[in-house]
Amino acid sequence: MSRAKRRPLTIAGEQAAVTQGGGARSSPEDGSTAPHDPAERSVPVREPEESGESEESGVAEGAGPAAASGAAAASGPRTIRMRISEGDPWSVMVTSFLLLAGVGILAFATTVVLWILMEAMAPDVLPDLGTVVAIAIGVVTVEVVLGTGLATLGTFLYNLSSLYSGGVEVSVTDDLDLPPAAAQVLPAMARARARVRRSLRGRTPWPRSWSR
């Protein structure tokens, strides 16, 4: 018990002797001096804690730029490369049918409007309205049926070809900003369209009945 209590005093005395004497140490028990052991002097008391703190700071400093770069990469736009390996023939058939049916309705309405305008400007030049409507219905029907069949057949052919080629590869990105070329071309097109509209409005003689 007495030696355990006096041990901290001995260590403190040795440290004080090393600090004051430099190369020798004195024992507080007998007052003698002994040459300092280099192995004991090379390991300070605070060195493990300081080295631990330096290692922790080094890890923190090393992990800081990596974490910042990872966060910047995560916040930036992402690009995913995908491959269309197969198409559903049923969905392609339904979509193409609806699309072509809409185009056919627009073509039919345009034909009727053009017939009315031509009849108003030059009567008895075109056939009667019934004949024009019948021809337009026939053309629209052929267009819808033939277009739907070709789209569905093309889907089957694509599925067969993708077994050997793997399909079409596309790149999908979440970057909604326009590329530099499109950012320059689209505003120029918008300005040109606005100039054309202004020039047409100033030169076209609108009838008085349309302005009411």
User: Per-residue pLDDT tens for 9-51?
Assistant: 444 444 444 444 444 444 444 444 444 454 444 445 454 444 4
What is the average per-residue pLDDT within 191-199? 88
Residue with tokens 């979509």: 95
pLDDT per position as a tens digit, 116-139: 999 899 888 888 999 999 999 999
Asked which of 103-112, 140-149, 160-169, 191-200 is least confident by mean pLDDT, the reply is 191-200
Mean pLDDT highest for which of 22-31, 129-138, 171-180, 185-194? Answer: 129-138
pLDDT: is 51 or 169 the higher one?
169
Q: DSSP letters along 34-79, please? A: EEPPHHHHTS-SSHHHHHHHHHHHHHHHHHHHHHHHHHHHHHS--E
| Per-residue confidence (pLDDT) for residue 197, from 0 to 100 | 87
Whether 52 has a pLDDT exceeding 50, the answer reads: no
Tokens of 93: 């058939």
Distance CA 8, CA 45 (A): 13
| Per-residue confidence (pLDDT) for residue 95, from 0 to 100 | 97
Distance CA 147, CA 156 (A): 15
Q: Which pTM value belongs to this model?
A: 0.50
